[in-house]
Amino acid sequence: MVFADLKNDFVFRRIFAKHPELLRGLLNDLLDRRGDQAIEAIEYLPSEQRSRVAGARFSILDVRCRDRAGATFVAAMQLLHVPGYINRDFYDACKAHIHQARHAEPNAKLTDVVTISICDFVLWPDAEQDALKLPRVPMLSRWNMTECGSGNNGLLQVQYAFLELPKLSSRRPDNGAELWAWLFVHAPKMAEVPADLPPGPYREAVELANASTFTQLELDAYQRVVFEIQQTRDYGDARRAEGRARAEGRARAEGRARARARGKAEAILLILKARGIVVSSEIRARIAACADDAILDRWIARAATAALAEEIVTEP
């Protein structure tokens, strides 16, 4: 038995865009909505498919949710396969919130929007957080606007949730968002549905990912998205490699410039020493700190004839 990758855009939509009860379970776990805040009803909204590179796209599954207390909000789910596009999250969430104003009465209360991003990469590495002496960001993190002084989080109109799959622990969780993350990571490696996998949304989602139940058209669509995801990753890798090459080139050029300036500064001081001219620590430091080739060349010429070290660095 072969299971398709739940992180594949086609498979994700095949499961969660056609089975609202499964999407409801996923959202309740990822947003930790329980009791009166648990999502009770879902309405699918028109979605967008935006190109990353030629033929590559990422899923956005937009739904309007109503919880048991009657409150409504819009949830926008997306799969992100490579880093570098995360700023698009913030743009999309704000755009979704503002878009409602086109159809609302002036001053009407707009529905809150939460963007849920399932990331196949790490956004906030533990090592970087540790180096900055900041708390580590958990695998599932939720973000909103908070007032810095009081900690008041009254501005909840736009919120974000990120599931960083590489932070998943090796142990299989029992339930909740951690179990969803485990399934997103491990489903393609399974030979069968685990016998102890809890019934309900988790088990049903895996069963729907059984590739033997796909039609040939679905298998073709699945493979196309596999190719597109790899294309997106290759494009991202190429961009990052290009950026690293540029940065390394700049670093080498800056290193050569520093070495050249250091050599010219040493030449000035050697000329003055050979001529027996006393150089104060202040003048010596100023010569050593100069990185401008043109100025250093001018100072070298002056060092050959100046009577005092001060004459070298004094501009006419």
Last residue of a domain, one of 181, 214, 247: 214
Q: Is 179 in the same domain as 269?
A: no
Last residue of a domain, one of 158, 188, 214: 214
When pLDDT is averaged across residues 37-62 and rounded to a whole number, the result is 66
Helices (H), 79-215: 87-99, 126-131, 176-186, 201-208
In this structure, is residue 40 part of a structural domain?
A: yes
**pLDDT > 70: percent of the chain:** 87
CA-nearest of 305, 307, 311 to 287 is 311
Q: Is 96 in the same domain as 185?
A: yes
**Contact yes or no for 114/31 (Cβ under 8 A):** yes
Please tell me the number of Cα atoms within 13 Å of 149 on its side-chain side.
0
**pLDDT > 90: percent of the chain:** 48
Q: What pLDDT shows up at residue 50?
A: 42
* pLDDT, tens only, 242-251: 888 888 888 8
**Contact yes or no for 145/158 (Cβ under 8 A):** yes
The burial of 30, by beta-carbon neighbours within 10 Å (0-12 exposed, 13-18 middle, 19 or more buried), is given as buried
Q: What pLDDT shows up at residue 54?
A: 35
* pLDDT, tens only, 126-143: 999 999 999 999 999 998
Cα 246 to the center of its chain, rounded Å: 21
Q: Is 27 in the same domain as 108?
A: yes
Q: What pLDDT shows up at residue 38?
A: 93
**Contact yes or no for 140/30 (Cβ under 8 A):** yes
Q: Is 79 in the same domain as 198?
A: yes
Inter-CA distances, 297 with 173, 278, 300, 311, Å? 68, 20, 5, 14
- In what helix (H) or strand (E) does residue 160 lie, and over which residues does it extend? strand 155-164
Tell me which residue has tokens 């865009």: 17
In this structure, is residue 228 part of a structural domain?
A: no
Q: Is 296 in the same domain as 160?
A: no
In this structure, is residue 223 part of a structural domain?
A: no
In this structure, is residue 267 part of a structural domain?
A: yes
Give SS3 for 275.
coil
In this structure, is residue 246 part of a structural domain?
A: no
Note the pTM of the prediction, 2 decimals.
Answer: 0.70
When pLDDT is averaged across residues 236-262 and rounded to a whole number, the result is 86
Greatest Cα pair distance, the chain, in angstroms, is 92
User: Above 70 in pLDDT, residue 49?
Assistant: no
Q: Is 66 in the same domain as 153?
A: yes
Rg (CA), the chain: 30
**What are the structure tokens assigned to 207, written together?**
């069963």
User: Above 90 in pLDDT, residue 263?
Assistant: yes
When pLDDT is averaged across residues 252-280 and rounded to a whole number, the result is 92
Q: Is 70 in the same domain as 195?
A: yes
Q: What pLDDT shows up at residue 105?
A: 56
Q: What pLDDT shows up at residue 97?
A: 66
Q: Is 279 in the same domain as 144?
A: no
Last residue of a domain, one of 150, 181, 214: 214
Q: Is 179 in the same domain as 270?
A: no
In this structure, is residue 255 part of a structural domain?
A: no
Per the model's pLDDT, the better-predicted residue between 71 and 91 turns out to be: 71
| Domain hosting residue 70, numbered range | 9-214
* pLDDT, tens only, 147-159: 888 878 777 778 8
Q: Is 37 in the same domain as 171?
A: yes
Angle between helices 20-30 and 176-186 (to 10 degrees): 120
Number of folded domains in the chain? 2
d(CA 49, CA 71): 28
Q: Is 20 in the same domain as 129?
A: yes
In this structure, is residue 188 part of a structural domain?
A: yes
Q: Is 264 in the same domain as 116?
A: no
In this structure, is residue 270 part of a structural domain?
A: yes
- Single-letter amino acid code for the residue at 221: A
